[in-house]
Amino acid sequence: MKQTARLLTVAAAIAASTFGVHSLAEQSIREDMEKACAPVEVSVYFAPSQYELNEFAEDLLKQAVSRVEHCELAQIEVVGFSDSLGQADFNYHLSEQRAEHAMAYLEEHGVVANTIQMSARGQEGAVSDTGEPLIMRRKVDLRFIPVPPTV
């Protein structure tokens, strides 16, 4: 009887210490995932007058998605832009199409967020104060904002 009681005591101690180790490991994994869930920003560029994603743009989006695939996202911001060449109405519509195509890629790859903000800026801000066209404006900027970790 004494032997059985000792064995049960030892088994209980081992179980308690094992539970503690597993709890610490799970907590460490949770903390690492929270650290990995930092905001991610990416810009995807387009050829003149184009709104469809090319292979390079899809690769950039794929990399961004892989960085947030294990995160709960509070918000995704998608903003389309154009350069200052051509008519303002056309450029605004083009920047909308660019944002929509980027958002469609995210949806096709299962990226979801509590809030999605999609906007188009057209050629707004595409010319400097001195009247010079700014380069690299044919783009979509995306920002993935994870849910803040709870303490």
Q: Model confidence over 88-101: pLDDT tens digits? A: 999 999 999 999 99
Q: Class of the 38-146 domain? A: alpha beta
Backbone torsions φ then ψ of 143, nearest 5 degrees: -135, 125
Give the chain's end-to-end CA distance (angstroms, integer).
47
Nearest in space to 73 (alpha carbons), one of 38, 114, 118, 24: 114
pLDDT > 70: percent of the chain: 76
User: For the chain, which residues make up each domain, given as ranges?
Assistant: 1-36, 38-146
pLDDT surpassing 60 at residue 82:
yes
Q: Model confidence over 35-59: pLDDT tens digits? A: 678 999 999 999 999 999 999 999 9
Looking at 8-12, 49-53, 83-87, 113-117, which range is the least confident one? Answer: 8-12
